[in-house]
Chains A and B, each alone.
Chain A
Amino acid sequence: TQLLEQSPQFLSIQEGENLTVYCNSSSVFSSLQWYRQEPGEGPVLLVTVVTGGEVKKLKRLTFQFGDARKDSSLHITAAQPGDTGLYLCAGAGYTDKLIFGTGTRLQVFP
């Protein structure tokens, strides 16, 4: 079974602070995605990374895929209350089924 561990599990910060969320596995993934989920809704895709070492930026969010394609990170600069939500990484493995990480719940206070 392929497992994706995220850390931290919970993060509570003030507006304007920076943060990094990690997604780690012992398995190699063909691609890795990051989703954000708000209460009462399904997850929505933020980004997909497919190449080892790849870095993608989405406004204040920076995503990196590890060189060995086993891990990824999400860095948020100057967090805002609108960033509050559950952040989930998801990996597509050898069977192409999409496996989700353990999740990071982010709360940004004004």
Chain B
Amino acid sequence: EADIYQTPRYLVIGTGKKITLECSQTMGHDKMYWYQQDPGMELHLIHYSYGVNSTEKGDLSSESTVSRIRTEHFPLTLESARPSHTSQYLCASSELQASTEAFFGQGTRLTVV
């Protein structure tokens, strides 16, 4: 069983609110990722990190920001939520070497009303 956790699982929030989605892993992985996924659809990479103080934007443009102050923690923040941000957000981690398995959290389903 993967030791990567996301909170909250579900979040309904009003337009304009600031939100932070939490992601923590206890496997000591250097790489961490945030993906955005609409139900049953492909995963779009929005942010990734190779380690502490490393953050990169993914292929899908996102108004969210991330930080990596500790190896185990990779939170994602939306300063002002909009209905277009409604989606599922999946966090993942893996070892630094290429070709290694990515372990996923259960996701946060965000609804902005």
A interface residues, Cβ below 8 angstroms from B: 1, 30-31, 33, 35, 39-45, 48, 50, 86, 88, 90, 92, 96-103, 105
Are A105 and B40 CB-contacts (below 8 A) given A40-B106, A98-B102? Answer: yes
A98 touches B90 (CB 8 A): no
Nearest A residue to B90, CB-CB: A42
Interface size class of B (residues with CB under 8 A): 20 to 34
Chain B residue at minimum C-beta to C-beta distance from A1: B59
Which residues of chain A are near B2, meaning CB under 8 Å? Answer: 42
| Interchain CB contact under 8 A, B43 and A88 | yes
- Are A45 and B101 closer than 8 Å at their CB atoms? yes
Count A/B pairs, Cβ under 8 Å: 65
Closest B residue, CB atoms, query A105: B40
A103 adjacent to B40 (CB under 8 Å):
yes
Interface segment, B63-71, B78-86, B91-99? B91-99
Known: A42-B106, A50-B99. A103 touches B41 (CB 8 A): yes
| A105 proximity list for chain B (CB < 8 A) | 40
Q: Beyond A31-B99, A40-B106, A44-B104, is A97–B42 a contact (Cβ under 8 Å)? A: no
Q: What distance in Å separates the Cβ of A1 from its nearest Cβ neighbour in chain B?
A: 5
Answer whether A41 and B101 are a contact pair too, CB < 8 Å, given A97-B33, A97-B58, A105-B40. Answer: no
Question: Closest residue of chain B to A100, judged by CB?
Answer: B43
Give Cα distance in the complex from A101 to B42, angstroms.
Answer: 6
21 contacts between A and B (CB under 8 A): A33-B102, A35-B102, A39-B40, A41-B104, A41-B107, A42-B2, A42-B104, A42-B105, A43-B102, A48-B100, A48-B101, A86-B40, A88-B43, A90-B102, A92-B98, A97-B48, A98-B33, A98-B92, A100-B45, A101-B42, A102-B42
Q: Is B74 an interface residue when CB atoms closer than 8 A count as contact? A: no
